[in-house]
Structure formats: structure tokens, C-alpha cells
């Protein structure tokens, strides 16, 4: 029985989101997938239409003795543009929105506090914070995509914001 915790973040293409989060100290595993919509067990073809309500997201499992939710949420905000309204980089559509899916009130408060810090710095943050729901893993060929293909993200760039 592990004491690992889970967090779910969506910031555009899940390949880039996973790329950065998987490298964070204390992260045990990452799984790319879909969440936030009403369709049961969606697949990539369905989600890519932008009509399912699901966003491409990453489920992060982490060791709370080595990292914490605030550190991961900070990394989330520093590896995408939380001000872009209809996608991320060249990826446009509802399936690429910036969202944080919280598991409890503490995570919600941390996410909202980070958003307020960014807004105080003049950023028009559009990241949505909502309760976590069912998470559906994506097809195997999407898992650890950049690690498998020896590439780097094209729409996620690290930018220090805090």
C-alpha cells in the first residue's frame, strides 16, 4: 500500500504536459488521458473533435515525501501559456484548454492562490479549476510519447513565472 497522491492537469497537448511533469522530482508515474467530459470511455478520435467536453490531460502520481501539490501546480503554470483562451500554441480547440482538476479543497485553494498570484503580476489567466471526475487513459501510443520518440514538446516551453 503506497502513500502516493494523484493530481490531474490539462494544458494543451498532453504529450508536452506529460513531458515536463514526468521529469519533476518526486513524480512516480504519469498517464495521459481524457477527463472533464460526459462521454464514457472516450478515445482520441472522439476527443479530438472538441465536442466531447473532455480535455487532453495528465494524471500524475507523486510521492508526497519528495514533492507536493503546490510544486506540481507551479510547474504546470510554468510549462504552458495559462492566458491562451482556445487551446495551447498551435493546438486550438476545447480539448486543449488549460484546466486543473482538484481532488480536495486544499488542492483547489492552492490552484486558486497560484492563479491570483499570476493575475496580480498582470497575467490574464484563463485556467479553469474544477473538481476531478473520471479519468480515462489514452491509447498506449500516446503514453510517454516524447520519451519513446526522442523528441521535445513543440507547444510547451518552460517560463519562470513565480
Annotated catalytic residues are 13
Distance CA 14, CA 128 (A): 16
CA dihedral 40, 41, 45, 51 (to 10 degrees): 20
Helix H, strand E, coil C: the string for 54-67 is: CEEEEEEEECCCCC
In degrees, rounded to 5, the angle at the alpha carbon of residue 128 between the alpha carbons of residues 98 and 4 is 80
Neighbours of 133 (CB within 10 A): 13
Residue 54, number of CB atoms within 10 A of its CB = 25
Calpha distance 139→104 (Å, rounded): 28
Looking up cell 510547474 gives 75
C-alpha cell at 37: 467530459
Amino acid at each position: 500500500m503506497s502513500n502516493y497522491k494523484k493530481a490531474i492537469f490539462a494544458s494543451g497537448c498532453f504529450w508536452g504536459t506529460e513531458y515536463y511533469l514526468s521529469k519533476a522530482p518526486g513524480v512516480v508515474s504519469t498517464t495521459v488521458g481524457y477527463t472533464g467530459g460526459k462521454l464514457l470511455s472516450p478515445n482520441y478520435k472522439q476527443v479530438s473533435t472538441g465536442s466531447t467536453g473532455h480535455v487532453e490531460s495528465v494524471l500524475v502520481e507523486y510521492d508526497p515525501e519528495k514533492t507536493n501539490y503546490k510544486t506540481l501546480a507551479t510547474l504546470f503554470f510554468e510549462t504552458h501559456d495559462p492566458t491562451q483562451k482556445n487551446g495551447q500554441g498551435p493546438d486550438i480547440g476545447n480539448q486543449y484548454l488549460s484546466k486543473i482538476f482538484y481532488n480536495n479543497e486544499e488542492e483547489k485553494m492552492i490552484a486558486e492562490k497560484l492563479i491570483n498570484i499570476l493575475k496580480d503580476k498582470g497575467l490574464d489567466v484563463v485556467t479553469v479549476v474544477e473538481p476531478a471526475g473520471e479519468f480515462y487513459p489514452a491509447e498506449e501510443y500516446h503514453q510517454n510519447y516524447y520519451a519513446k520518440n526522442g523528441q521535445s514538446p513543440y507547444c510547451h516551453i518552460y517560463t519562470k513565472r513565480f
